[in-house]
Amino acid sequence: MTEDVNIHVHGHAGHLSLNRPKALHALTLDMCHAISAALTDWADDEAVQAIILDHAEGRGFCAGGDINLLRNSALNDGGKSGREFFHDEYQLNHQMFEYEKPIVAFMDGITMGGGVGIAMPCKYRVATENTRFAMPETGIGLFPDVGGGWHLSRLGGRLGQFLALTGARLDGAECVWAGIATHYLDPADLAEAKSRIAAGHEPGQVLSALAKTPPAARLESNEAAIKKHFASDRYEDILASLEADDSEWAAKELATLRTKSPQTCKVALRQLKESEQLDSFADNMRMEYRIASRVLTRPDFSEGVRAVIVDKTNDPKWDPATPEGVSEELLDQIFAPLPADEEWRPL
């Protein structure tokens, strides 16, 4: 058991509260294991009717996964411990996706990367004015994993491709508009919502009763531009489309894309295209584990983490340096099946 997750039963609710405030509740392997074990226990406990997933003190909800562990693994053990982390984190994502009892994620704060991975499989996803949702992985040479391929490819309107490539941050209102969140609550009402769920009331009814109408979604005004410019699954087409548009919005998004890893932008586009065709979340996680196993030890990941997170110089030297340098052969290698005994498996 780990102190980084508070695990309790309150009345009829199992309660998982992420408790790593100094790291914005970023997930460690121990946290993934603890959450998974609790969900396994509660699955057969008739007294537990629903699961509450939130964060304890400080800003939350969950800022991602254990990036430092992953980088150390890439640099020092050939990716071995990093692959173990991805494997078991993805097992948790899948376990939550398939879980029979309703899980309510309270995304009251930063919800990025690994935090998206544990929020999106939940039946109910509560946004507030504090919610900041993003999949910013292309900026550190990673890709929108933890089920991102599945969730983003199903948003429609090419919004998922836009979020995957740019790492754009959405507020709570935008999350509701995009279908990422199911309800919008005032932060002052969260405790009441949790208390009613613990008392045995049906979570959907509780949330609907307390829900507020969110403000207008800023993103909605860019809906047509996103659909137009991010229409292609070829990264070069997207860049060319933005270049041909003299609007301020297009210039801003183009400048953002110029800072991202060309390799992982191309990986993300193929990932979402392939994921959209898959029939099961398990198949998606198998594909993402293959990608993660390769991308982890490619140059861009450790370099991206160095530039953005460790040194904070924001000057990554990507390899390949240009979209044209990322060949189809390289992408084929990244997506190729692993040896049978190394493939990802559900719990």
Q: What number of other Cβ atoms are within 10 A of residue 277's Cβ?
A: 8
Which of these is catalytic: 114, 115, 117, 139? 114
Q: What number of other Cβ atoms are within 10 A of residue 155's Cβ?
A: 17
**Among 153, 136, 161, 134, CA closest to 281:** 153
**Among 111, 130, 18, CA closest to 63:** 111
157 assigned to active site: no
Which of these is catalytic: 54, 66, 137, 174? 137
Structure-token pair, residue 6? 């508070």
Which of these is catalytic: 89, 145, 288, 300? 145
Which of these is catalytic: 64, 65, 109, 172? 65
Tell me how far apart the alpha carbons of residues 240 and 67 are, in angstroms, rounded to a whole number: 32
145 assigned to active site: yes
**Among 226, 237, 253, CA closest to 138:** 253
223-254: b (≥16 Cβ within 10 Å) or e? bebbeebbeeeebeebbebbeeeeeeebeebb
Tell me how far apart the alpha carbons of residues 71 and 80 are, in angstroms, rounded to a whole number: 11
78 assigned to active site: no
4 assigned to active site: no
Catalytic residues: 65, 114, 137, 145
